[in-house]
Structure 1
Amino acid sequence: MDNFITKNKRSIYGGLIATIFTGLGAFLLGNLSGYEAKQLITSSLPGVNMLCNTIALASATILALLLTLLGISFGSESKLKKAHYHQVLTIAKFDTILFVGALVMFQFFNIPITEAENVETSWFETIYWATLLFSSILSGMMITVILMLYSTVTNIIHIIGLGEDHYLISSDETEEEAED
């Protein structure tokens, strides 16, 4: 876990800042009554559903594009270290968690909870704050995935596109070039 945080420090910080920023804006509203929370849930449902749809679509697209990235990485003339493939694997894991989280939250909000008559109004406060918390977390995770992907793509550009000497190029290859 320490290694994951060390290698992805910038991406994680970016995601945490986004989570805090989006969550803080919601928490500045202060205390709500159950009825106010119910009204806010009703008015925010389309936006939350759109957020979940967007994140699920983006996550699925990123997973598919990671296959393309692997093909480019494997087919390159430069022999890449295992660290590169671990980066891609980490992005895939994190992205899958994000995808599942967005689908679960989307499914949860397709339950017509605001139309139920037997739900106490105090529950709506809890549901409202949970909605804000989880949508902030999903947004932060999406930003983290994008920043991790950006880091990996820029590494590939430096190695394959620009032909630069890079820490992810296997030392076996650089030794072979020195012998020629």
Structure 2
Amino acid sequence: MYISTSTKKAIWGGVFAILFLLSGTFLLGKLSGYEAKVLIKNSLSGLNVLCNTIVLASASILALLLTLLGLSSTSNSKLKKDHYLHVMQIAQLDTVIFIVSLLSFLIFNLPITESDSIPPEWFTIIYYITLGVSAILSGALIVVVLMLKNTVVNIIKIVGLGMQDHPLAMNDDEKNS
């Protein structure tokens, strides 16, 4: 699978965001099971809001991709196959984010902190898993937004500004063949 330079930059942006978000866990230091249980209890509502927001954002992005495809196909400028492959990559990643966010939302709604059968040391593991999941989901959505931004910029350059020497615009020779 080919990954363009702009997509690689978007991925690096997401990786940076994940590392930035996870660096906060190191500031907390080592937690006991009881402390982790309290932190989970206090952060669950925020995690649910985060998952809800990511679900809504990813669903909106999928709908906007349809609009983008409509604009791409009806323009006078012809776009290369790479443009459509890039849009397909965005749609695939966005769909994965949608599904994982929805599943995470459902899991985070389990009343785990109310259970007496879970050993206290597991709460530390559960807490770090919830932090990891939220960081990965946030970073992945940042990747999608950066990829979408690159696609929109390319469409503006090709369709709006009429740039014909753009790498994603077909030139006259390619249109005729």
TM-score normalised by structure 2 residue count: 0.94
Q: Which stretch of structure 1 is more off in the superposition, 80-89 or 7-16?
A: 7-16
Matched to 1:109, the amino acid is F
CA shift for structure 1 position 174: 6.8
Which runs of 5 or more residues in structure 2 are unaligned? none
| Residue 65 of structure 1: aligned partner | 64
CA shift for structure 1 position 172: 3.9
SS at match of 2:116: coil
Matched to 1:101, the amino acid is V
- Assess if the C-alpha contact under 8 Å between 1:81 and 1:169 holds in 2: yes
Q: Note the 1:52-131 alignment, pairs <5 A.
A: 52-131=51-130
SS at match of 1:119: coil
- Assess if the C-alpha contact under 8 Å between 1:79 and 1:173 holds in 2: no
C-alpha distance in 2, partners of 1:14/1:161? Answer: 27
- Assess if the C-alpha contact under 8 Å between 1:78 and 1:173 holds in 2: no
Q: Deviations over 1:111-150 (max 9, x none)?
A: 0000011111111011000001111101100100000000
1:5 and 1:108, CA in 2 relative to 1: closer, same or farther beyond 3 A?
Answer: farther
| Residue 42 of structure 1: aligned partner | 41
C-alpha distance in 2, partners of 1:99/1:136? Answer: 15
C-alpha distance in 2, partners of 1:79/1:64? Answer: 22
CA shift for structure 1 position 29: 0.9
Q: Which stretch of structure 1 is more off in the superposition, 147-156 or 98-107?
A: 98-107
- RMSD of equivalent CA atoms: 1.4
C-alpha distance in 1, partners of 2:172/2:70? Answer: 21
| Residue 13 of structure 1: aligned partner | 12
Matched to 1:38, the amino acid is K
C-alpha distance in 2, partners of 1:172/1:63? Answer: 32
C-alpha distance in 2, partners of 1:42/1:127? Answer: 11
- Assess if the C-alpha contact under 8 Å between 2:158 and 2:169 holds in 1: yes
CA shift for structure 1 position 19: 0.3
Q: Deviations over 1:48-67 (max 9, x none)?
A: 00100000000000001100
C-alpha distance in 2, partners of 1:175/1:141? Answer: 36
C-alpha distance in 2, partners of 1:87/1:102? Answer: 22
| Residue 157 of structure 1: aligned partner | 156
CA shift for structure 1 position 164: 1.3
What is the number of equivalent residue pairs in this alignment?
A: 175
C-alpha distance in 1, partners of 2:93/2:173? Answer: 31
CA shift for structure 1 position 30: 1.1
CA shift for structure 1 position 45: 0.5
Q: Deviations over 1:81-119 (max 9, x none)?
A: 000000100000010111111111101011000001111
| Residue 169 of structure 1: aligned partner | 169
Which runs of 5 or more residues in structure 1 are unaligned? none
